[in-house]
């Protein structure tokens, strides 16, 4: 069955937030359950960042226990390395998914760790943007989808060093075409890339298959300087860059199958990020989604 036929069973989730192990222990951090109770229009689902070796924290467990919607965002899988999809990891990921009951799997299609999956090996780098790499990513996506039974949506990672002959969007257009799947567009990561490469925020989006965009991320970033080299730190801080909003508002109006938007602000206090939630909510209310709401 092709992706657009499978899409019929991909639920609409709306606006949500992300979390990862222990995030709630940051000073003043959002309490997902509390915000969900007070503002379900802001937090309808939880995107759970998962490292299999760490499992789920109490927040994720409580959320799942209440049967609330989730997505499974992997933080420990190099999709383009066949040897990384070891059976033991798949089984442990499946066990976690059995608790979360996520709507889908997603995650940055980059290098999450060098070498094998070991302590101290963690990092996140963008892929090498070549056709061979895109085909390998697609192979990993198809493998994970078949092994778990869940849809797997790759995300464009952040970074400061991008190599390869393809523009990042052309690269991911190939990945999702080869894998016959949907896409998680991280607007902040794309804004970082476009700025780094000297492109306008919307460069390349006109030829990108926006009908495959299923999820979007919006997050704050911080402009930093290293010896005169200015770069954006994807630190999920309060300040969402203008370019990120530009990308989001452009795509949200043109992505007919968009199912979910995540505001990545897990370590911020609600009052501080309320304006961002309002803006996202307003944007989503203005557009038509292509999937039935549940």
Partner 1 sequence: MSYHHLQRVVVRMLYDPAFVTQIFADPATALRDEDLTDQERRWLVEVDRRAYAVDPLRRARTLAALIEEFPVSVHHLVQQTGHAALLDAFFSSAYFHTCIQQRGSLAAAFSGYVLSDDLHRRSPGLGFAPVVQIETAMARLRRQRSSPEATAPSACHLLRLAPTVVFMPAPMGTLAHYQAALDVLRSDADGLMAAALKSSTLLAPQEVQGHEWLLIVWHQDHEGATIELLPEALGHLLAATPAPRPALVTTICALGADVHEANEIIDDLVADGVLYAGGTDA
Q: In the complex with partner 1, which residue's Cβ is closer, 159 or 182?
A: 159
Q: In the complex with partner 1, which residue's Cβ is closer, 118 or 206?
A: 118
Q: In the complex with partner 1, which residue's Cβ is closer, 58 or 165?
A: 165
Q: Do residues 134 and 81 touch, judged by C-beta distance below 8 A?
A: no
Least distance CB 104 / partner 1 (angstroms): 26
Q: Do residues 163 and 129 touch, judged by C-beta distance below 8 A?
A: yes
The C-alpha atoms of residue 153 and residue 49 are separated, in whole angstroms, by 14
3-class DSSP assignment, residue 260: strand
Least distance CB 268 / partner 1 (angstroms): 22
Least distance CB 166 / partner 1 (angstroms): 11
Least distance CB 92 / partner 1 (angstroms): 11
Binding residues vs partner 1 (CB under 8 A): 80-81, 88, 111, 114-116, 118-121, 123, 125, 127-128, 130, 132-133, 136, 160-165, 196, 224, 226-229, 231
Tokens of 206: 């006109």
Q: In the complex with partner 1, which residue's Cβ is closer, 111 or 219?
A: 111
Q: In the complex with partner 1, which residue's Cβ is closer, 65 or 88?
A: 88
Tokens of 175: 């990945």
The C-alpha atoms of residue 98 and residue 96 are separated, in whole angstroms, by 5
Least distance CB 233 / partner 1 (angstroms): 8
Q: In the complex with partner 1, which residue's Cβ is closer, 120 or 292?
A: 120
Least distance CB 114 / partner 1 (angstroms): 5
Least distance CB 119 / partner 1 (angstroms): 5
The C-alpha atoms of residue 217 and residue 184 are separated, in whole angstroms, by 7
Identify the CA nearest to 154 among candidates 131, 123, 180: 180
Output the CA torsion 110→237→205→231 (10° steps): -70
How far, in Å, are 40, 51, 218, 266 from residue 112 at the CA level?
A: 32, 10, 20, 20
Q: In the complex with partner 1, which residue's Cβ is closer, 128 or 173?
A: 128
Q: Do residues 166 and 175 touch, judged by C-beta distance below 8 A?
A: no
What count of other Cβ atoms lies within 10 Å of the Cβ of residue 172? 27
């Amino acid at each position: 069955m092709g992706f657009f036929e499978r899409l019929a069973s991909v639920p609409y989730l709306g606006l949500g937030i992300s979390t990862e192990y222990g995030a709630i222990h940051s000073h003043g951090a959002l309490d997902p359950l509390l915000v969900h109770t007070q503002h379900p229009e802001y937090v309808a689902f939880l995107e759970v960042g998962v490292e299999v070796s760490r499992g789920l924290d109490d927040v994720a467990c409580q959320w799942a226990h209440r049967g609330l919607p989730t997505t499974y965002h992997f933080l420990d899988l190099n999709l383009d390395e066949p040897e990384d999809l070891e059976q033991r990891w798949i089984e442990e990921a499946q066990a976690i998914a059995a608790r979360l009951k996520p709507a889908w799997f997603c995650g940055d299609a980059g290098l999450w760790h060098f070498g094998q999956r070991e302590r101290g090996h963690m990092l996140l780098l963008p892929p090498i943007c070549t056709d061979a790499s895109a085909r390998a990513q697609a192979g990993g996506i198809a493998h994970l989808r078949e092994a778990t039974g869940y849809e797997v949506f790759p995300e464009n990672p952040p970074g400061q060093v991008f190599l390869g002959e393809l523009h990042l969007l052309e690269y991911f257009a190939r990945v999702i075409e080869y894998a016959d799947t949907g896409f998680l567009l991280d607007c902040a990561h794309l804004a970082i890339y476009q700025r780094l490469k000297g492109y306008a925020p919307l460069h390349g989006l006109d030829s990108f298959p926006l009908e495959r965009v299923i999820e979007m991320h919006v997050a704050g970033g911080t402009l930093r300087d290293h010896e005169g080299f200015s770069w954006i730190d994807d630190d999920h801080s309060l300040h969402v860059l203008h370019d990120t909003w530009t990308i989001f508002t452009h795509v949200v109006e043109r992505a007919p199958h968009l199912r979910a938007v995540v505001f990545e602000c897990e370590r911020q206090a609600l009052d501080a990020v309320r304006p961002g939630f309002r803006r996202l909510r307003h944007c989503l209310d203005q557009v038509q989604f292509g999937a039935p709401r549940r």
